[in-house]
Structure 1
């Protein structure tokens, strides 16, 4: 299955689907702040408001983490990922790490 075809959901159950659990999968990325943008962000923090360069960095990081999560699931033969979550944190004050994680599952035929 192509990684773009892998269903990702934050729910525990997928309506109408039965599946077996494969295991945990992760997608991780770490981004560093741009020094020029960091200077501008420092100025912005004095007057308030959204720091768009950081927002963009986090949006890009989440997208990359999600893409890596899908690849991790494809690598183990998953059809979907359930209970997907994001987590993030700072590293050393100038880097931001974002992880997407969930449970990889494989659909099974309904033999009723």
Structure 2
């Protein structure tokens, strides 16, 4: 498995900039639209649970679960971007993740932040 399978984030071609900061250097916040989020819930299949259980006996990274979590976070960001864009935003500020168990059925991953309209500052 390559490094791309363990990473994530938005596509460089995205029309909505997603940052974890309060502002974007070189840009002015024109309008704050409000909170947006992208949510997904993933169940674990039996094979990965058995593999993870066996791996926990000897220690080490659970690569299958790492890959699944990276894919899940990417999907949550994609949904966050879709919601922000549908509300007229071109940026999401202060993006964060929240991860929790969902009724013992799987893992809930929520990407959330503040949708805003930003414009470049002119010198």
Using structure 2 for the length normalisation, give the TM-score. 0.81
1:6-85 equivalence runs, <5 A: 6-19=16-29, 20-85=31-96
The aligned length equals: 110
Conserved? CA contact 2:26–2:121, under 8 Å: no
Structure 2 residue runs of 5 or longer lacking an equivalent are 1-12
- Measured after TM superposition, the shift of residue 17 of structure 1 is 1.5
After TM superposition, where is structure 1 displaced by more than 4 Å over at least 4 residues in a row? Answer: 108-111
Structure 1: gaps spanning 5 or more residues? none
Evaluate the alpha carbon distance shift between residue 11 and residue 109 of structure 1 in structure 2; reply closer, same or farther with a 3 A threshold: closer
SS in 1 for 2:41: strand
